[in-house]
Amino acid sequence: MHTGSTVSVSNPNPLRPARDPRERLRLTTAARRVRAIGNKHSTMLIHTSVNTVIHNSFREPLQNLLEGIGDLLHAEDADLHLELESLWESECARVPASAFGRKIVSYAALRESLEDVARDCRVILDNASSKVRLDYENGPVVAIAVGGNTLSRGLTLEGLSVSYFVRSVSAYDTLLQMGRWFGYRTGYEDLPRVWLTKELREWFRHLATVEHEIRQDIDVYMTEDKTPRTFAVRMRTHPTLRVTAAAKMKVFTHAASSYGGQRIQTRYFDLSRDVLLENQRVFKSLISDVVESDAKPDHSASGNRFLWRGVSYESVVEFLDSYSFHEASTQCDSRLLTEYIQKRVANRALHTWNVAIVGKVASNDSAATFEVVPGVRAGCVVRSRLTDSDPVDIKTLMSRRDAAIDLDTSGVEGELTEGKIVQLRKQQSPATGLLVLYVIDKDSQPKTTSAPEERPKDGSESPGDLRSALEAPEHVIGVGLVFPEPIGSDSEVEWDYISADLSRIQIEESDLDEQELVEF
């Protein structure tokens, strides 16, 4: 995925061939022809505006570029092939084919198909005034599709491989339609490329969070005696995006949020030296207070892991108040977290906490360690960053094993799932919170292996992740929190959520006995 500032599109100016998104279409199409699997069509999307005049302005420069590249390929231009080969090799390194069980296609293998792909490629303007539209019914299509709403609503872009869109939107539902342009990947999961603005990328990240939270609310229907009539699914709002058009939002109400039963972790980080050193200071201060308090050290924690039980909630609140969370970590809001804890404390829960430090066992003398306080030296964990992420994004900090560090899991059969951890916490620590702290090695490097069985077991890296060295000026302090599910009613904190207004819904009581219900 490529991001940048919004670009001018009123006068399109083709880039040098090997740097142009359109060359990815040719290379990807040629590689897919070599693989001979999956969808036989190949499409590139260009979406910059809903204005048909702007669409029309793309036709001539795109057509000229296609013809120019076709001539160079036909002439076996050596400089062009050197540039394309370099581009192809760098793209293959960005997303390894082996991560998806696919074979690497060499440039030599796809080179033979490049001229045919250039000859087959067509520029299609698909909008309300178009006479020629995309048609996938009559044989394999290779097309650069330029358009607006007709491309975002209802039309499937077959074999979508390259997407280039910069159009601003104002509503969730419009943005979700644009999410279809991330590509249909069967057989070429490693090959699609997306160009979009930094703003759009942030919006899609926000929508991914919204979807995750909606799914969490829907899970309530399966685990508790709730229905959509009695519990309305909440949707997080955004300062600049509307959820949908105003006409569709006539019956809604503002909702609150809760951390009950959730696992929270820092994912995004500010790598400024001053911020990192201050977070180290508040981390050391917390552990110093814990060691000097009446909290009981639990020596059953294996490896380079420390655990103290019975830590006062005041120490945890003070730490959360002082730690600098990155603003992109929307769930990690100091004010909301401390407000929630204090409300639970008023309801006779979360008075005490278990505090853990999870470190990596040093396998050699050069492994990085960090002295927290005298007698407590933590092994630094490795968490590389997603390449080109801004802010710095490590994706996953906390493993399921870490979330159960204060629980007795000896009786668990099979895999330790999230559901099993929730049940164990209900049984063993129903009113105690868990704070898990990490020292992330400032020199963290990405794993070089791509075989599934050799990837990290802690979930910190997954197939398709494109990662780079962390390159922080100081070690980074990561934070994870596990909140027990509430007993009875939960405390809520005011966040910007909306939900359907159920105040006027009348629940009809069934006059049928269960024995009278007939399945048909």
Q: Looking at residues 217-234, what average pLDDT do you find?
A: 73
Residue 177's Cα: distance from chain center in Å? 18
Split at pLDDT 50, 70, 90, the class of 275 is: very high
Top-confidence residue, 301 or 1 = 301
Q: Pick from 385, 389, 355: which is nearest to 372 by CA?
A: 355
- pLDDT tens, residue by residue, 239-257: 677 887 777 776 676 666 6
Q: Quickly count: other Cβ atoms within 10 Å of residue 329's Cβ.
A: 17
Split at pLDDT 50, 70, 90, the class of 379 is: very high
The single-letter DSSP state of residue 101 is: T
Q: Looking at residues 184-197, what average pLDDT do you find?
A: 85
Residue 16 burial (C-beta neighbours within 10 Å; 0-12, 13-18, 19+) = exposed
Q: Looking at residues 167-174, what average pLDDT do you find?
A: 78
Give the domain ranges of the chain: 2-202, 263-491
SS (H, E, C) 112-153: HHHHHHHHHCEEEEECCCCCCCCCCCCCCCEEEEEECHHHHC
Per-residue pLDDT, 8: 37
- Asked if the model's pLDDT at residue 154 lies above 90, the reply is no
Q: Identify which of 91-105, 152-166, 219-233, 271-285 has the greatest average pLDDT.
A: 271-285
| Nearest-10 crossing angle of helices 273-292, 313-322 | 170
| Predicted structure pTM score | 0.60
Residue 297's Cα: distance from chain center in Å? 36
Split at pLDDT 50, 70, 90, the class of 348 is: confident
SS (H, E, C) 450-508: CCHHHCCCCCCCCCCCCEECCCCCCCEEEEEEECCCCCCCCCCEEEEEEEECCCCCCCC
Whole-angstrom Cα distance, residue 238 to residue 240?
A: 6
Per-residue pLDDT, 423: 87
Q: Looking at residues 359-368, what average pLDDT do you find?
A: 68
- pLDDT tens, residue by residue, 441-468: 999 999 864 444 444 455 555 544 688 9
Split at pLDDT 50, 70, 90, the class of 14 is: very low
- Asked if the model's pLDDT at residue 124 lies above 70, the reply is yes
Task: Check: CB of residue 300 under 8 Å from CB of residue 398.
Answer: no
Per-residue pLDDT, 465: 63
- Asked if the model's pLDDT at residue 480 lies above 90, the reply is yes
Q: Looking at residues 397-403, what average pLDDT do you find?
A: 93
Write the CB contacts of 480 (distance below 8 Å, at least 6 apart in sequence): 263, 264, 265, 266, 397, 398, 402, 403, 435, 436, 437, 438
Q: Looking at residues 210-235, what average pLDDT do you find?
A: 76
- Asked if the model's pLDDT at residue 496 lies above 80, the reply is no
